[in-house]
Amino acid sequence: MRSWRSKRESRGLEAELRANRPEPSSELVHRLEARVREDGRHSRAGSFRVAFAGALAAGVLTALASVGGLGYAATGAGQAVEKAKRVVHQHGVTTVHKSAARAQYGKPKAKKCPAGRKRVRGVCRKVKKAKGVNFRRPPFTG
């Protein structure tokens, strides 16, 4: 990090601070060294604990293997994985076909064709009438 002071000032201040830095007494240093040496001897007990835990775990695995418990545990783990896959499965995007937005902004409806015309493939076309035949309803006889 750059200082806003000039280099000469910072070097002088830094040198002064380093020179006046407090030093621990030699007695304190010797006591700390002795404590560290004593604590180092107790670390062997920790390695014994790790070895004991490893041996105990190996014994449990051997006991489970002898009665078929490992196969049961493996089946349970496989089933758990299948359930997790089913839960985490990603689904496709769902589209809403009937919504307020679609009703408001949907495609505009085609305009009605004028009389005598019919919409064919999006275009209003003239309807051909049958020649010579008059299509009427039969008279009401009711």
For residues 59 and 91, the model is more confident at 59
Distance CA 116, CA 125 (A): 9
How confident is the model over 11-37, as pLDDT tens digits?
788 888 888 898 889 999 999 888 888
- pLDDT score at 62: 86
Strand partners, 125: 118
Query: Average pLDDT of 64-89?
Result: 81
- Alpha carbon of residue 137 to chain centroid: 70
Cβ atoms of 110 and 121 closer than 8 Å: no
**Residues in a beta bridge with 118:** 125
Parse the chain into domains and list their residue ranges.
7-87
Dihedral sign, CA of 83, 88, 92, 93? positive
pLDDT band at 131 (very low <50, low <70, confident <90, very high): low
Backbone angles phi, psi at 119, to 5 degrees: -80, 120
pLDDT at 3 over 60: no
- To the question of pTM greater than 0.85 for the whole model, the response is no
